[in-house]
């Protein structure tokens, strides 16, 4: 999905023209200006080609696609921008599920099977994180743009990336045959897993331990037509679930979806179920497989109001205890989490070999002994990493505790709503609800953005 950590990474100097985004500008015109600005980027050649061995040595095959030539990387960026613009145009202006589905299939073919799922904004979270915490790692400019551009579009037009551009969402959407809605309480509960996954991914990337988003991508084995049996089983399992539960990975695990969900609540324009005033016919109520349509409700009775207010006060009083408990649980996970780091694993393995607890050695331990480093230096490095994990996992626990408090507060506050509306955060802008609205069918005038 994105380039793994590499201390020898280099990027070529790139210059990008400044763009002025006019809020009233149609997405298609905006796309054209962005693509023209990208033409000014500086291209270069590979500075450090692989060595030419004279001993018949063959370079081993890699498990991830090699970086493409800069021309094709910027072609990918142009396609990404064009697809995001079209997704926004189809969902907000044309209000066409058919066009969105066609764009979704194209994105699945291009970014998924042809581009093999690499690079993508989801995995770019790890590259951005590693850049912040490791001064020796330089992030490629294309990875930065792949990460930032969908966020910018989301702030203006909502979750068009999820609607028809992301290949992970597309492969789940095309197999959705008999959608079943989950209970609301289960929807919110499973949605918390994405925050945990995001926090863990940032933690492991910041410490240079692993890129778990790419490592456990459930669909990359299909995109690359290769992979371990475990990942193939995982991908098949998700697709089987996706036959009945709309986009389970997107809704309950995707870490990038957490960011998009938050930004979309502040988007300049949003998806509306009907192009005009809602007549509350209830035909759209069961059309959304993602539980993203909020039903109208009367103002709460005074008793319910007092009960909700009391619950909110109790929740705020317990907030420090919840955060302290989650931080303590995070601290307890520091030891097992630190074993994700290769240095910690190597130190534990060498210790087992030195104390005679295992009879043989490994390639990694043999390579370490070949460096001539002392065992004490290895153990000291592992201990330092362990100390870093001690406070990092506490922060992870506090983050999860904070999310839990915010979620419970959101569910406690009662809101008055007079019509059927798409939830800004949970709505994936798929356009399924359009066809169920009688006003949509009788109106020849699309909604304005």
Average pLDDT over residues 371-378: 93
| Residue 6 resides in a domain | no
Instruction: Please check whether residues 189 and 172 belong to one and the same domain.
Output: yes
| Residue 9 resides in a domain | no
| Residue 13 resides in a domain | no
Domain span including residue 41: 27-47+64-297+423-442
Instruction: Please check whether residues 259 and 350 belong to one and the same domain.
Output: no
* Run of H or E including 190: helix 184-206
Instruction: Please check whether residues 282 and 344 belong to one and the same domain.
Output: no
**pLDDT at residue 414 in the model:** 67
Instruction: Please check whether residues 259 and 333 belong to one and the same domain.
Output: no
Instruction: Please check whether residues 258 and 119 belong to one and the same domain.
Output: yes
Average pLDDT over residues 337-360: 94
The structural domain count of the chain equals 2
Instruction: Please check whether residues 277 and 318 belong to one and the same domain.
Output: no
The model's confidence at residue 27, banded by pLDDT at 50, 70 and 90, is very low
* Run of H or E including 176: none
Instruction: Please check whether residues 133 and 272 belong to one and the same domain.
Output: yes
Instruction: Please check whether residues 354 and 403 belong to one and the same domain.
Output: yes
**pLDDT at residue 65 in the model:** 57
The candidate with the shortest Cα–Cα distance to 88, out of 174, 155, 183, 12, is 155
The model's confidence at residue 145, banded by pLDDT at 50, 70 and 90, is very high
Instruction: Please check whether residues 219 and 288 belong to one and the same domain.
Output: yes
| Residue 20 resides in a domain | no
The candidate with the shortest Cα–Cα distance to 32, out of 76, 93, 86, is 86
- Determine the Cα–Cα distance for residues 247 and 174; give it in Å rounded to an integer: 10
| Residue 141 resides in a domain | yes
Which stretches of 342-374 are DSSP H helices?
A: 342-354, 363-371
Instruction: Please check whether residues 220 and 102 belong to one and the same domain.
Output: yes
CA distances 379 to 110, 241, 247, Å, are 46, 45, 44
Task: Give the global pTM.
Answer: 0.82
Instruction: Please check whether residues 402 and 427 belong to one and the same domain.
Output: no
Token digits for 328?
A: 């303590």
| Residue 177 resides in a domain | yes
Instruction: Please check whether residues 291 and 318 belong to one and the same domain.
Output: no
Residue with tokens 């789940």: 172
Average pLDDT over residues 110-115: 94
């Amino acid at each position: 999905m994105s380039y793994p950590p590499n201390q020898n990474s280099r990027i070529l100097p790139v210059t990008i023209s400044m763009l002025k985004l006019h809020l009233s500008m149609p997405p298609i015109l905006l796309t054209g200006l962005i693509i023209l600005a990208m033409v000014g980027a500086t291209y270069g050649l590979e500075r450090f080609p692989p060595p030419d061995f004279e001993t018949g040595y063959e370079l081993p095959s890699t498990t991830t696609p090699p970086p493409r030539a800069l021309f094709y990387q910027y072609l990918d960026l142009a396609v990404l921008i064009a697809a995001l613009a079209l997704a926004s145009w189809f969902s907000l202006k044309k209000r066409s599920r058919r066009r969105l589905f066609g764009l979704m299939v194209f994105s699945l073919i291009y970014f998924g099977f042809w581009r093999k799922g690499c690079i993508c904004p989801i995995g770019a979270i790890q590259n951005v994180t590693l850049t912040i915490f490791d001064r020796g790692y330089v992030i490629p400019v294309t990875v930065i743009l792949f990460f930032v551009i969908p966020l910018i579009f989301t702030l203006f037009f909502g979750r068009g990336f999820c609607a028809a551009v992301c290949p992970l969402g597309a492969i789940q959407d095309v197999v959705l045959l008999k959608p079943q809605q989950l209970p609301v309480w289960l929807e919110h509960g499973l949605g918390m897993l994405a925050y945990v996954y995001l926090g863990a991914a940032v933690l492991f990337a910041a410490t240079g331990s692993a890129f778990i988003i790419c490592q456990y991508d459930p669909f990359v084995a299909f995109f690359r037509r290769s992979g371990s049996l475990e990942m193939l089983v995982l991908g098949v399992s998700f697709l089987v679930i996706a036959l009945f539960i709309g986009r389970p990975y997107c809704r309950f695990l995707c870490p990038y979806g957490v960011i998009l969900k938050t930004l979309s609540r502040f988007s300049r324009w949003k998806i509306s179920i009907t192009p005009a005033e809602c007549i509350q016919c209830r035909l759209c109520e069961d059309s959304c497989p993602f539980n993203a349509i909020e039903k109208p409700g009367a103002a709460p009775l005074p008793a319910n109001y007092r009960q909700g207010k009391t619950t909110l006060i109790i929740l705020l009083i317990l907030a420090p205890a919840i955060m302290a408990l989650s931080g303590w649980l995070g601290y307890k996970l520091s030891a097992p989490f630190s074993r994700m780091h290769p240095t910690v694993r190597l130190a534990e393995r060498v210790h087992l070999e030195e104390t005679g607890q295992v009879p043989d050695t490994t390639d990694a331990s043999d390579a370490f002994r070949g460096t001539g480093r002392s065992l004490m230096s290895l153990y000291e490095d592992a201990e330092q990493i362990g100390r870093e994990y001690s406070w990092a996992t506490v922060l992870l626990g506090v983050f999860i505790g904070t999310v839990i408090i915010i979620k419970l507060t959101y569910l406690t506050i009662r809101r008055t709503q007079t019509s059927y509306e798409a939830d800004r955060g949970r709505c994936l802008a798929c356009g399924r609800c359009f066809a169920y609205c009688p006003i949509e069918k009788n109106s020849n005038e699309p909604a304005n953005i």
